[in-house]
Structure 1
Amino acid sequence: MAAHTAICQWSFGQHFNQETRRISCNRDGNALELFRSSSWKHIISSKTQCVKQCTSPMPFLGTRNVPKKGGIHALLPNTMSPSMPAELLDSWDDDYNGVVVDSASLPSSANAFASALRASLSSWKLKEKKGIWLKLFQEQSDLVPIAIQEGFDYHHAEPGYIMLTYWIPDEPCTIPSSPSHQIGIAGFVINDNREILVVKEKCSCSCVGVWKLPTGYINKSEEIFSGAIREVKEETGIDTTFLEMVAFRHVHRVAFEKSDLLFVCMLKPLSSEITIDEKEIQDAKWITPEELLGQQFYSEDEMSRKLIEICMATYENCYNGYTAHQLISKFDGKLSVLYYYNNNLNMI
């Protein structure tokens, strides 16, 4: 009987493996459709008959995950035994009675992930946890629909990953919203000849053809003052040093419904020869304040005009902006920059 069982299992395995290879080689095929095909039914039927005839002590465990093109796994019927409890996802608690799932240790199988996620949610609910954070990397994208089906919501995305959240209590959600602002800078550079560094951008926006201050966006983990220095250097080739932050503008519902903060920084030029970035800048030059504000654009744009007037008042020592001071906060123990008006007083 044992020998007969072994022969029967080997015969089925040969047939099963051949059919699996045929499916994996069919680049345009659909794994789920092939699963429903008569060929697959023949395999399952053969296996059932084999089990009946051989009375093998090995139970039939059901279907397995069949890889699709691109490494995505089809979610097939659950293969876990009812007597075998699902494993919980590896995670740790955050500071707000929430949970952060360990993305690096997630199951690679869609079925295993679904089972572990359901079991973990039940466990977290019993422990009265609140917000659940689930970060899925690009190579784990086939797990996203499973998490959404279990009640997770999109929070934010960055190159390489997507963050999902789940709020457990039956009360208003206190999970912080996704990043809501983009941070921009404008560099006001004026030389000893009372000339302002200005550029004309290559764009189809409302300021096309207008001489304006160099502007740009802050990079990730970049200080505001160093971002201003970098942007001026990239667009005009002029080296500068930071003096003061003279003003900032706050506007809402700009790109992709995000709010926008623009910090205006006064910079001292360390060089004078202009070399433009031809990919972004049409032209750049040194210009007098009168010529800059004499453009029709500034007579029609009250905010832009006011910014230039504030910068000129700072240059003429009629206005004081905020200087940058590096301090350590006890909240995180990190060195950070605090901008404030010192006025040569020992305030701290």
Structure 2
Amino acid sequence: MLVHWIPETRNTLPANVTHQVGIGAFVMNDKREVLVVQEKIGKLHGIGLWKFPSGVINEGEDIFAGAVREVKEETGIDTEFVEVLAFSESQKSFFEKSDLFFFCMLRPRSFEIQMQELEIEAAQWMPIEEYAAQPFIQEPGLLKYGVNICFAKIVKGYGGFSGVPTRSIFSNKPSYLYLNGSYLNQSLHSGKDS
């Protein structure tokens, strides 16, 4: 399975072999423009698709930290994690292994793009309506659902999952519980943790 990962450039073999955890980063500025990239390598190269920055979480890395890191690596944009909007799970899909993919919303802290040239062909801020109008996004599937969730967030106030610091019950190491923001706000204001 790992042989499939070996590129002609720098080795990007993941540490785990049973599954991968990936993120897609929805980053929107005050002009309703989203941060998008075109890939230089891989299956999406050369098809003209503008997509959200995305990537695989490193071993030992939390989802929110991986999302912030991937955006910085691909575009040079500094961000702040807001919440997980949704996630998908598929079995035997990525080199016959499980794939967990998290759609994350991030807030930009900088705006000048400094594109990573190893993996990224192009990067830009694009009006969200233009992004959503792409033919690949219009086809039924993961990309269409993803953009619909993003619209639900910015137009209808859809509530995703915020990360709350906690500790692992197995190792007592720091970890994060991702839960719906409306529940979090409700329990904070009521003073109850139930």
TM-score normalised by length of structure 2: 0.83
Partner of 1:258: 97
Letter in 2 for 1:192: D
Partner of 2:21: 183
Deviation, 1:295, is 1.1
Pick aligned residue for 2:122 from 277, 280, 283: 283
Secondary structure of the corresponding residue to residue 105 of structure 2: strand
Write the mapping of 1:283-322 to structure 2, written as runs, cut at 5 A.
Answer: 283-322=122-161
Secondary structure of the corresponding residue to residue 345 of structure 1: helix
Report which structure shows greater RCO (CA 8 Å, sep ≥6).
2
Between the aligned partners of 2:95 and 2:141, the Cα distance in structure 1 is 25
User: CA, structure 1 residues 329+280, in 2 after alignment: closer, same or farther (shift >3 Å)?
Assistant: closer
Deviation, 1:217, is 0.3
Deviation, 1:330, is 4.0
Deviation, 1:339, is 0.3
Between the aligned partners of 2:48 and 2:64, the Cα distance in structure 1 is 27
Letter in 1 for 2:89: H
CA deviation profile, 1:44-81 (whole Å, cap 9, x unmatched): xxxxxxxxxxxxxxxxxxxxxxxxxxxxxxxxxxxxxx
Between the aligned partners of 1:326 and 1:188, the Cα distance in structure 2 is 22
Write the mapping of 1:236-247 to structure 2, written as runs, cut at 5 A.
Answer: 236-247=75-86
Partner of 1:345: 186
Partner of 1:205: 43
Between the aligned partners of 2:44 and 2:139, the Cα distance in structure 1 is 12
Between the aligned partners of 1:328 and 1:204, the Cα distance in structure 2 is 37
The answer to whether the aligner puts 1:219 opposite 2:67 as a matched pair is no
Unpaired stretches in structure 1, ≥5 consecutive residues: 1-157, 160-177
RMSD of aligned Cα (Å): 1.9
Partner of 2:163: 324
TM-score normalised by length of structure 1: 0.47
Letter in 2 for 1:195: E
Contact 1:181–1:259 under 8 Å retained in 2: yes
Deviation, 1:218, is 0.3
Deviation, 1:334, is 1.8
Identity %: 45
User: CA, structure 1 residues 331+255, in 2 after alignment: closer, same or farther (shift >3 Å)?
Assistant: closer
Contact 1:201–1:209 under 8 Å retained in 2: no
- Greater strand content: 2
Between the aligned partners of 2:49 and 2:115, the Cα distance in structure 1 is 16
CA deviation profile, 1:91-145 (whole Å, cap 9, x unmatched): xxxxxxxxxxxxxxxxxxxxxxxxxxxxxxxxxxxxxxxxxxxxxxxxxxxxxxx
Contact 2:54–2:71 under 8 Å retained in 1: yes
Secondary structure of the corresponding residue to residue 193 of structure 1: coil
